[in-house]
A and B are shown apart, each in its own frame.
Chain A
């Protein structure tokens, strides 16, 4: 089974801090995704990557950046955390014509 591991289950950060959320997969999946999930809004795509060093903006990329230096690792960066970025962050991977595999999520609180 594919495993998708997110580095932290819970995080509390201060406004203005630079925040790194890490996601690692243990299979050779090309595609990786970062979503955020908020009550009443569902899953919204922030960024995705279909290959090493490749990235594309999702629906809500503002305030975020990503890095994919190795195939197995996809990092989400909050350059200057704000309270409206308090959310559940979910990483997912997939390869062609297969279902998505999600990590357990990181619940980030910005105070």
Chain B
């Protein structure tokens, strides 16, 4: 699976959009981009995933560039409860085994 690179930390004002970037320049054609988040002292929680097209669900939107070398997770109206560490992972289709977890981005949503 491709390695991903994320900024170690970001800040966002409550109510504003939080845009979390991820670089995955070595991603291959069959690798999906997954996003998870981990709130302090809990297990990571799945947010969203995509292959080529932009995706949206009740939690977030995922924008993947046309060359698929980077993506952005968007939390449209961040709340204090969105303060967490966000992980971006590239995962090959059918690869249900080893994933490479980086250190993620620690997002602080400020009042």
On A, residues with C-beta under 8 Å from B are 4, 30-31, 35, 40, 42-45, 48, 50, 56, 58-59, 88, 90-92, 94-97, 99-105, 107
Contacts and interface: CB of A to CB of B under 8 A. Distances in A.
Residues of B in contact with A, size category: 20 to 34
A91 B103 CA distance: 18
Contact of A50 (B41, B44, B97): B97
A88 B32 CA distance: 27
Interface string B77-111: 00000000000000001101111011110000000
B30 to A, nearest CB: 11
B48 to A, nearest CB: 9
Contacts, number: 55
Given A42-B103, A42-B104, A43-B101, A97 B41 contact: no
B29 interface: no
A56 B97 CA distance: 9
Given A42-B103, A42-B104, A100 B98 contact: no
B43 A92 contact: yes
A100 B44 contact: yes
Contact of A90 (B43, B46, B93, B96): B43
20 contacts: A31-B97, A42-B101, A42-B103, A43-B44, A45-B98, A48-B98, A58-B98, A92-B43, A96-B94, A96-B96, A99-B46, A100-B44, A100-B46, A101-B46, A102-B44, A102-B45, A103-B43, A104-B42, A104-B43, A107-B41
Interface of B: 32, 34, 36, 41-46, 49, 93-94, 96-99, 101-104
Contacts of B98: 45, 48, 58-59
A102 B43 contact: yes
A39 to B, nearest CB: 10
Contacts of B94: 96-97
